[in-house]
Amino acid sequence: MKNLLTITALASAMAFTSCSKEASLEEQENANLTTTSQVNLNAKEQTPNEIFDTQRRGIYKGVIAAGHSQDRGVIWINVENNGEYSAYAEMEGGEIIDYTSQGDYSQETTDQSFNFIANNSSFILDLSQVKARVTNASINNELYFIEITKETSTRRSSVLTGTFSDPENPFFSGTWNLTTTGETTGGAFGEEYFDQLIVTYNGYMFTDNNFENFDVCTLVDYLPGADVDSVLAGGQTSDLSGPITWHLVRDAALIGDYTNEGCTGATSGTFSWSDANEAYDGVILLD
């Protein structure tokens, strides 16, 4: 009886191992198919390869914004998702930037920085840290910033770009951008959680990933979030080289295009920002 049990257990283990191998082979074949079928696609057009969901290879998406102007756009970076290295940026003014890079990614190496180059633009992607980061970004020799997040086959993030300005002080202006995690908040409008606020101004990039629940109109203690049709971030506070309060609610299902804190229609979002020298009150406009 003991021998019979041993043989049965061994047979079960072999069957389990065989099934596991078959599953692994099937996953690998699907990943290879995803890779080869996307060879001629730019980084924006590609679907994140499932096999890279928990790796640093794959597709990254984020904001590209000027340090000294209001130029901004959305960027996608491909790290061997289709076996190649490339990046693709769509600027708000209509300019398209195609980047190429010669890379040789290896999880065993410590040097995980890659140069991406286009005719008038370049940046360095650094994957050596827990969070991917981009440095030395420029377009036409002007300073730019890039902030990205890793996408997966089941989680695709959204990027919202825009500007801010103080009508009383034309020199106080820059870009105002938001990214989402790709995961829904469970809110009434199907919006996704915010990942980061990204503001560029006067040669600096400021970020904030803390968002507070808020009240506006019929929404009480509501989770901030966004989708393609709505942006819900009322009564927010941030510290961007100085304390700032801001209100950005845009959804036609409420009052109108924009809605202010008093639940009446507005033409923009608003902010109040102070530093050591001066206080600014202005508007936020999303693209």
Instruction: Quote the pLDDT of residue 11.
Output: 43
Whether residue 165 sits in one domain with residue 262: yes
Please give the residue range of the domain that contains residue 63.
57-154
Considering the domain architecture, whether residues 102 and 216 belong to the same structural domain is answered as: no
Query: Could you tell me if residue 99 is inside a domain?
Result: yes
Say how far apart CA 202 and CA 173 lie, in whole Å. Answer: 8
CA separation (Å) from 75 to 46, 168, 181? 13, 32, 16
Q: Give the side-chain half-sphere CA count within 13 A for 27.
A: 11
Q: Are residues 143 and 255 in the same domain?
A: no
Asked whether residue 274 falls in the same domain as residue 180, the answer is: yes
Whether residue 118 lies inside any domain: the answer is: yes
Domain presence at residue 64: yes
**pTM to 2 decimals?**
0.85
pLDDT in 10s for each residue of the chain, 287 residues: 434 334 344 344 444 344 444 445 445 545 555 566 778 899 999 999 999 999 999 999 999 999 999 999 999 999 999 999 999 999 999 999 999 996 655 544 456 889 999 999 999 999 988 889 999 999 999 999 999 999 999 999 999 999 999 999 989 999 999 999 888 888 777 789 999 999 999 999 999 999 999 998 888 898 999 976 789 999 999 998 889 999 999 986 666 689 998 888 899 999 999 877 889 999 999 99
201 to each of 95, 130, 140, 177, 247, how far by Cα in Å? 21, 26, 18, 12, 19
Query: Residue 198 corresponds to which tokens in the numbers above?
Result: 């990204």
- Does any domain span residue 2? no
Q: Is residue 36 in some structural domain?
A: no
97 belongs to a structural domain: yes
- Count of structural domains within the chain: 2
Q: Which one of 95, 124, 154 terminates a domain?
A: 154
Asked if residue 9 is part of any domain, the answer here is: no
Q: Report yes or no on 18 lying in a domain.
A: no
* pLDDT at position 186: 80
Q: d(Cα 37, Cα 157) in Å, to the nearest integer?
A: 22
Domain boundary among 154, 187, 219: 154
Residues 75 and 123 in one domain: yes
Which tokens is 22 given?
């078959």
